[in-house]
Structure 1
Amino acid sequence: MWTSSLAGKEFGRLRTWYTHPAWQAEHDLASATAICDLPQDRLEPILVTAAGLRGATQLLNTEFRTFAQDAEGVTAQVADRVTVLTGPSGAQDWKAAAAKAEAELGFEVAVHSIGFGGDYQDTYGTFGRGVGIAGDGALLVRPDHMVGWHAEDSG
């Protein structure tokens, strides 16, 4: 709802899924819980903020593996993912290095080449110049989406 204040005039209302009265009754009869029909782009920031205020850490770019519950709580196992972005001419060398790192260190490294003939196209040819690497250079992107290391070229 869009209002002038909490108790003010209503300017508009977003009706989605089961907020229409005819469908809400159907949901209420079939569900054991009350409905909270809020689109993900609005609900997710609320949940992330509330969890952060309570001390939770948000893990980005991770893969959920397993979980186990005991008397102490729930333990989840996740795998960090590191991404390497490279120009097209260095892709094979970086993919081989990533496979070696995965085998030795035990975490996943995704390698994506960007440019003509690469995994992703660079229509205007600006990727390498924009991030400061040659066609065989690379960027290592941490799980928090920050660049953790870069090599201008493979040499």
Structure 2
Amino acid sequence: MVKETKLQVEAIRNGSVIDHIPANVGIKILQLFNMHNMNERITIGLNLPSGALGHKDLIKIENIYLNKEQANQLALYAPQATVNQIEEYRVTNKLALALPDNIKRVFECPNSNCISHGEPVESQFHVQQRQEHVTLKCHYCEKVFSRDIVTEHK
């Protein structure tokens, strides 16, 4: 039997491709990282077929190159994702994701009494991981939250 392959999302000439995002997480990544406000073309594939995941989401951002720090922040939501940097329609660099030690400016502290709500400071969390359980500790109030509480709070 011949496997039929068909390009489901148009290739980009230059930019970044975030691939292998778990299904239903792509929109959350766009919003949390404020990608939807960029002035470049963004192509989103939702619930695309995937051999490894069953279904996946995909984000292609033209003329924007995510750096290693930005890519690692995605690991909170899509630990198996890859970020490919594209130049002239070819992959020139692949960034594997790893949880960062700190996350800045992505979301605010769920603690309404935290000083980060009333002062002109950037939010910052220290990432802590024990096996598969990820928690985030606010740099200012030092309260510890599960990844899900912080990411849903935005």
Between Structure 1 and Structure 2, whose CA radius of gyration is higher?
Answer: 1
TM over 0.5: no
- Larger RCO (CA within 8 A; separation ≥ 6): 2
Structure (1/2) with the larger helix percentage: 1
More strand by share: 2
TM-score w.r.t. length of structure 2:
0.29
